[in-house]
Amino acid sequence: MAKQIIPKKYAMPHQDPQVRAKNFDEVALGYTEELAVAEAERCLNCKKPFCKEGCPVSVDIPEFIALVKERKFEEAAKVIKRTNALPAVCGRVCPQENQCEKFCVVGKKNEPVGIGRLERFVGDYIVQKDERIEKAEPTGYKVAIVGSGPAGLACAADLARLGHSVTMYEALHTPGGVLMYGIPEFRLPKAIVQKEIENLKKMGVEIETNAIIGQIASLDELFKEEGFDAAFLGTGAGTPYFMNLPGENYNGVYSANEFLTRSNLMKAYCFPECDTPVKVGKKVAVLGGGNVAMDAARTALRLGAEEVYIVYRRSRAELPARLEEVEHAEEEGVQFLFLTNPTRYVGSEDGWLTGLECIKMELGEPDASGRRKPVPIPGSEYVLPVDVAIVAIGQGPNPLLTNTTPDLETNKRGNIVADESTGKTSKEGVYAGGDVVTGAATVIKAMGAGRTAAKSIHEYLLSKS
Amino acid sequence: MYKIVAKKTLAPAIHEFDILAPKVAKKAKAGQFIIVRVDENGERIPLTIADYDREAGTITIVFAEAGYSTKKLALLNAGDAVQDFVGPLGVPSHIEKFGNVVMVAGGVGVAPVFPIAREMKAAGNHVVGIMGARNQELIFWEEKMKEACSELLVTTDDGSYVRKGFVTDVLREYVEKEGKPDLVMAIGPLPMMRAVANLTKEFEIKTMVSLNSIMVDGTGMCGACRVTVGGETRFVCVDGPEFDGHLVDFEEQLTRSRQYKTEEQHALNRGGCGCGGGGKCHG
């Protein structure tokens, strides 16, 4: 087996940074068939695939890659879809560097196999095809799924495959959760998300939009009046945190959730062709250093801002965002102000934001997390002139559902308490997973939790009969 | 899609729609609101629930043509449908037997006041309705209000109907003559609610107002509808829409309500699309 290994991944074609910073089209253009087959050739097809163990939904990675080598793309898609309902989505947004690709044997001495890129290629290939979806033999059980984000979608797919009758309730007018309102078009085209969701409908999953459980019906009413046998709660972490700084309610200060919802879900970037407006600042500050902050900054740039700053209190090494996202933002011209903490918003007489007062920080003693804690440098305050500020410091769970379900145990942050290995909550027949349990995490982790819960729900239903 | 089963034009540029939404109608309570999206490219706009019929499965909304989306909504007729209709949203009005309750309605505010007044009366309160409009032409639902209230006082800014004066003039006269009511509720344009709150503060009468801020989702996930109440930030959509009128920062609310003035004008003039020609806005 003295196979010559190509040391680097085959490069993925990208839009030029100068061009793409001005449009909402997808940045990464995806592999061609030739590139996909060539990349697949780099896989050693290990007997003991460590990559699979790194995947939260345990995709049979070597098996699908072997099929790509043979140009059997449809079969490859079938293999992936056994465990992952949304390959075109996950191939794009998973942090592969911390998951499958982190454990790739090829990656020990060279670059790992581009598993994410291959998954994306296969996902896109099958999205273009009119896939034949088989409906399972009905079991007669009804399961309600609250929230149609990644956790709910994965849970629905597995339960439908097992023959249960699944209804998803979604508060917004479009299903998909963060895939629709949070992650921008240039990272995840919405048409692809909707196509993947259409396939779920073909499997028999009913999706009811504009339905807020907790307002239109309580969880108990779903069981009592609608006759559901079990429920999965995947309501996410959609409530924005603010910093509670003076001037936070000036015009021009957004939560990242609002800014991104306007742009992505409501397509404010097409205003006035679409009716929802968004403030396009000349100078924009984004507070925070996670993926949401990167998305907000890159969106502001595309809407036409001249200067976009990421304001982050630690240094570059501590940025919680994926390296790839940070690099993309830098290439596009986003400026980073490290060791900088916002202290208050400055506004005009008539209530509009004119600046963000910041204080410089220096690294002090290590804190509980082992990282050196940033401490303010007294007297180093200065005002950064901006007309739009976007707060991207995190989100918490929305209490609309838990408030109306008194016997559902939550922790002090408002997250639903659920067993990690089963998704079981304190309420009989009710399971939960994703960000509503863990706090804001990743798409794939939410999907993993949805699958775990689906398995438990299936066992629970069978035990009832 | 949600069908418009009836449409009435109540006054120039003020319309009443009955919309078929059985699940919303089953749960709707006085004081709550809905969010409507006219069509695929539409924005989400909040409108207060003016009435509901649980049997027929309909919700009544009343709106004035104020900007682009309400003008677009006004073009629809009975038999047409709106794309999205979400609700009931917000916290219902707190209804109990307070004693004497004065319900103040300014302009289109008559519509959201009506179901609350009706509930207040049903709970055993003596309900005094005060309704005001710019002129006689803009007065609507007078008969409905008479039924919902124990007594009804009407006024017009220009004196073209019943009497001349603002709702605050009527309220001041009432309080001076009849003494302090146990509760005042005011719904209408922000400056009118602010004026009522300032007046009742003078007399130390507990006052509730219903805010109609800019909203996007209406479920507490974005904070577009932020308001400062007693020095704390609240979200109108999930913590409200009703708040203690003496604690609301009206100045800030007025500023925030003007946030998209320029864009609103732009939409009315309807220029080209900024999507770079990808046609994604129709995707």
Mean pLDDT of A301-307: 95
User: Does residue A197 lie in a domain region?
Assistant: yes
- Identify whether residues A368 and A270 lie together within a single domain: yes
Whether omega for the bond prior to residue B241 falls within 30 degrees of 0, making it cis, is: yes
Residue A440 included in any domain:
yes
Which residue in A258, A259, A265, A282 has the most chain B C-beta atoms within 10 A of its own C-beta, making it the best mutation to test that interface?
A258
Give CA–CA dist A245/A242, Å, rounded.
8
Q: Are A339 and A375 in contact (CB under 8 A)?
A: no
**Is B33 in the same domain as B52?**
yes
- For residue B267, being part of any structural domain is answered with no
Number of domains in chain B: 2
Q: Do B221 and A217 touch (CB under 8 A)?
A: no
Contact residues on chain A for B267, CB-CB shorter than 8 A: 271-272, 275, 277
Segment (H or E) for B20? strand B14-20
Tell whether B225 is in a known binding site: yes
Task: Say if CB A389 and CB A246 are below 8 A apart.
Answer: no
pLDDT the model gives residue B164: 95
CB A387 within 8 A of CB A353: yes
Q: Looking at the structure, tell me whether residues A264 and A338 fall in a common domain.
A: yes
Residue A103 pLDDT greater than 80, yes or no: yes
Residue-level pLDDT at B270:
61
pLDDT for res A199: 86
Distance from CA of B10 to the nearest CA of A (A): 26
CA atoms within a 13 Å half-sphere pointing along the CA-CB vector of A279 = 27
> In the structure, what pLDDT confidence band is assigned to residue A3 with cuts at 50, 70 and 90?
low
Whole-angstrom Cα distance, residue B45 to residue B70? Answer: 9
Residues A230-284 have pLDDT tens digits of 999 999 998 999 999 999 999 999 999 999 999 999 999 988 888 999 998 999 9
Note whether residue B84 is domain-resident: yes
**In one letter, which amino acid is A359?**
I
The answer to whether residue A21 is domain-embedded is yes
Whether residues A381 and A453 fall in one domain: no
The CATH code of the domain that includes A266 is 3.50.50.60
Q: B125 and B43, same structural domain?
A: no
Same domain, A180 and A82: no
**Token output for A374:** 């940033």
pLDDT digits (tens, 9 = 90+) for A339-359: 999 999 999 999 999 999 999
Residue A12 lies in a domain: no
Could you tell me if A389 and A402 lie in one domain?
no
Does residue B270 lie in a domain region?
A: no
Order of strands, sheet of B207-210, starting from the edge strand that comes earlier in the sequence: B151-156, B126-133, B100-106, B183-187, B207-210, B242-244
- Structural domain including B54 reads 2-89
Q: Are residues B68 and B14 in the same domain?
A: yes
Specify the 3-state DSSP secondary structure of B248: strand
Question: Is residue B237 part of an annotated ligand binding site?
Answer: yes
CATH no. for residue A52?
A: 1.10.1060.10
Residue A77 belongs to a domain: yes
3 state SS for B169-223: HHHHHHHHHHCCCCEEEEECCHHHHHHHHHHHHHHCCCEEEECCCCCCCCCCCCC
Nearest chain B CA: its distance from A118 CA (Å): 26
Residues B79 and B149 both lie in one domain: no
B1 touches A at CB < 8 Å? no
pLDDT of B52 strictly over 80: yes
Same domain, A274 and A384: yes
pTM: 0.93
What is the C-alpha separation between A305 and A334, in angstroms, rounded?
A: 10
Q: Are residues B75 and B163 in the same domain?
A: no
Q: Pull the structure tokens for residue A359.
A: 């204080």
Do B81 and B137 lie in one domain? The reply is no
CB-based contact A251:B213 (threshold 8 Å): no
Radius of gyration of chain A, Cα coordinates, nearest whole angstrom: 23
**In a domain? residue B216:** no
If asked whether residues B140 and B67 sit together in one domain, one would say no
| Distance from the B8 Cα atom to the nearest Cα atom in chain A, whole angstroms | 25
Q: Which residues of A touch B256 (CB under 8 A)?
A: 249, 251, 351
Q: How far is residue B248 from each of residues A45, A222, B260, measured CA to CA in Å?
A: 65, 37, 21
Do A382 and A289 fall into the same domain?
Answer: yes
Per-residue pLDDT of B144-187, as tens digits, reads 999 999 999 999 999 999 999 999 999 999 999 999 999 999 99
* pLDDT at B271 (0 to 100): 45
Both tokens of A41, joined, read 């050739």
A9-23 pLDDT, tens digit per residue, is 999 999 999 999 999
Residue B139 belongs to domain with CATH number: 3.40.50.80
Q: How far apart are CA B22 and CA A187, in angstroms?
A: 38
pLDDT tens figures, A126-180: 988 877 777 888 999 999 999 999 999 999 999 999 999 999 999 999 999 999 9
Q: Which of A147, A145, A202, A133 is nearest to A179 (CA)?
A: A147
Q: Which of B24, B59, B89 is the last residue of a domain?
A: B89
Q: Which of A335, A359, A394 is the last residue of a domain?
A: A394
Look at A366-380, B39-53, B137-151, B231-245 and tell me which has the smallest mean pLDDT. A366-380
Q: Is residue A7 part of a domain?
A: no
Q: How many helices (H) and strands (E) does chain B have?
A: 9, 16
Residue A224's Cβ-count burial label (10 Å; 0-12, 13-18, 19+) is exposed
Q: Is B219 a member of any domain?
A: no
In A105-146, DSSP assigns E strands to 142-146
Query: Dihedral through CA A70, CA A71, CA A73, CA A78, nearest 10?
Result: -10
DSSP state for residue B136 in the 8-state scheme: G
Which band of pLDDT confidence, cut at 50, 70 and 90, is reported for residue B276?
Answer: very low
Asked whether A147 and A186 are in contact (CB, 8 A), the reply is no
Report H helices in B204-282.
236-239, 250-257, 261-269
**What pLDDT digit, counting tens, does each position of B184-224 carry?**
999 999 999 999 999 999 999 999 999 999 999 999 999 99
- What range defines the domain where residue A460 resides? 142-238+397-464
Whether residues A90 and A156 share a domain: the answer is: no
Domain endpoint, select from B32, B62, B89: B89
Whether A249 sits inside 8 A of B233 (CB atoms) is: yes
Interface test with B, best of A146, A173, A393 (most B CBs within 10 A): A173
Which CATH number belongs to the domain containing residue B83 in this structure? 2.40.30.10
Would you state the structure tokens that stand for residue A299, as one six-digit string?
């969106």
- Residue A198 token pair: 């259409």
Q: Does A273 sit within 8 Å of B274, measured CB to CB?
A: yes
pLDDT in tens, A412-443: 999 999 999 999 999 999 999 999 999 988 89
Domain match, B202 and B112 both: yes
Question: Distance between CA atoms of A154 and A451, rounded to whole angstroms?
Answer: 6
